[in-house]
Amino acid sequence: MADRVYLDWNATTPLRPEARAAMIAAMDHLGNPSSVHAEGRKARRLVEDAREVIARGLGAMARRVVFTSGGTEANVLALSPGLKAPAGRIERLLVSAVEHASVLAGGRFDPAKIQSIPVDPSGVVDLGRLVLLLAGGPPALVSVMAANNETGVLQPVSQVAELVRRAGGVLHVDAIQAFGKIPLDINQMGADLVSLSAHKIGGPKGVGALVLGSGVEEPIPVLRGGGQERGRRAGTENVLGIAGFGAAAGAALAGLESDQARLGELRDRLEAGLRQVAEVTVFSCGVPRLPNTTLFTADRMKAETAVIGFDLEGIAVSSGSACSSGKVQPSYVLEAMGVGPAAAQGAVRLSLGWSTTEADVDRCLQAWRKLSLTLLKRSDETVLERF
């Protein structure tokens, strides 16, 4: 696969060397982290070291980090009715219309108690509508993601938090796409609950975390049994996965500033190159986005055909969230933004990562020049006259 270019980092990332090394080392630790003997204490140390790294990366307290089997479980654990809020017990859930599918599903809330917060044409949550929704009923748990997995849009989380706080509610932030890519601080965001996932930052699949703010009540456990994770999540901790998560988080946070600048430049180079070939629409390009994400379409382009075409040229891209792969349907994120069905069904996502190079971007653009002839039914003369 060395001759291929991977541009689907928002779906999952390669395992970082630091994470691989940490996991291999963890294989030599025999003990159960709940055991009190020396072997158990060594395993426990691996778990707690990772917990501290992740907490520092979010400005949180280590004891408020709860390890889970991934981002979806972290979201479901967070979306818990009955939480104590300043204005009383949480009875309903408000979620932005562009949330990840695991949040849109509502966790453990009754579907009748879930309301959608609309977004504007750029994909930014409508704060005015949020105010009205908050005022229209009992205390609410509000879930707004830090960064969208398809468009890369950064939501105004701190402004959302202020509105939620005034209304006496609780705020959950899905930061799975943002953590390790942009600076985040749970206190500056004003979040009460934050979800994370290891495999989005170079850690292993199958491990995530829910980070609790200093003042929020403990959510009701999804998994009950033993007293692991301070009684918040039963089951023996995935020591190998957690060690990899901690190492990946440390590496991502150490290189965050330089990667953020470099990837932003590569993304701009990529988008400029796409536009040179055809009349391309880059979604949400007028608002703050992740530095690594481009979601684009062109007239008459079909996303499924484009993804296959790029793949045959040795370029891995996607048509949106990997959790919806295989489904030939318009992006619900773009539909929520008011994008028409044809454009929503023709969107292709390119997402970059720490090992993406200029050569990778140039190879993608070379493939785009070739594919545009068939994808957009353009003639050679039409493409060449743009250079």
Cα separation, 223 vs 84, whole angstroms: 20
Strands (E), 178-218: 193-197, 208-212
Active-site residue, selected from the candidate residues 101, 261, 308, 323 = 323
Residues in CB range of 132: below 8 A, 6 or more apart: none
Question: Contacts for 327-334 with beta carbons within 8 Å, 24 or more apart?
Answer: 328/304, 331/150, 332/97, 332/98, 333/98, 333/123, 333/148, 333/150, 333/151, 334/150, 334/151, 334/283, 334/295
Q: Report the b/e string of 4-41 with b at 16+ CB within 10 A.
A: ebbbbbbbebebbebbbebbeebeebebbbeeeeeebe
Enclosing H/E stretch for 325? none
Cα separation, 334 vs 153, whole angstroms: 12
State yes or no: is 364 an active-site residue. Answer: no
Enclosing H/E stretch for 164? helix 157-166
Catalytic residues: 323
